[in-house]
Structure 1
């Protein structure tokens, strides 16, 4: 397909495609004339992933370039591809704080039997939230989060079920980003609706 077709099928402007090629995010097309190139399905899939990473996840061009490079190293490792695309795996190791809340997160992960990397960013995020809840007196013991962890586990199974059928690593990564990032506001909205329903059921006899 020519550049205009690639733009139409991907939803990315011609100017943006040319920019991604210059920045090394997208490989140049195969030259068929002095000023014309052809692109294939691989270009289309990679471009859709670039759009998801920059436009949906909000990554910078430089971070996206690094991430795409890391993805191309072991495309057959689906677990690693998903971890990188969703930010569950860091591109580079960073020093981790050693706090009481970090120890609580370790205990929760062990209690759930989860296979989670020690440097997973979500560990630090959860530890920070636990610290805030403790300071506000809203949470005592980390075990209070176990029912929520069980709900999260069931949600994760649904998330991964939705990826069935995506065989190409780039397509898999794109779908994972879109489903995870775009579904999060919907999940929060569903929680709010359920809370209102439960409140009405308990306190108004509705």
Structure 2
């Protein structure tokens, strides 16, 4: 199965995404209360530090298979040979996510030659509308919906108290090894310059 890889001056064809209710009706209560989620240090998951921390640099990225907004299954291990920019985010249309994914819609050149994946616990239909509004056509948006947060838990970034993924980015090289990780509070912005530089080093 082909997977979107960012190439200059190429925009994937319209996928015919289904129209769904407005973002206001699809946003979950947990997403509205992200500001109240405790955060003590990078990688904090809502549990005491050290009980479950995100995976570190040099670790093989856990494999997963999730469904994208087009209804296709995406398996991480099938992307070997191509760098992957894996972004966990709390919810579609939440703060920070709009700016970052909207930025990809405007200029995908920093991610040229890589596969960009966004994962949240939203259902497929909410992510379909989010992708449509962000115009982030070249990215995969994957629903970690059922079992809820299973992939986020495997990467150590699930926020138990809020019931959503934390905000974390993993840069994975062509061999499936994590080469950079940035974990921030739900309402903070990752270090994009560093992450993009790490991604560039994988190409």
Q: TM-score, normalised by structure 1?
A: 0.22
Q: TM-score, normalised by structure 2?
A: 0.22
- Which of 1 and 2 has higher RCO (CA within 8 Å, sep 6+)? 2
Please state which structure has a larger fraction of its residues in strand. Answer: 2
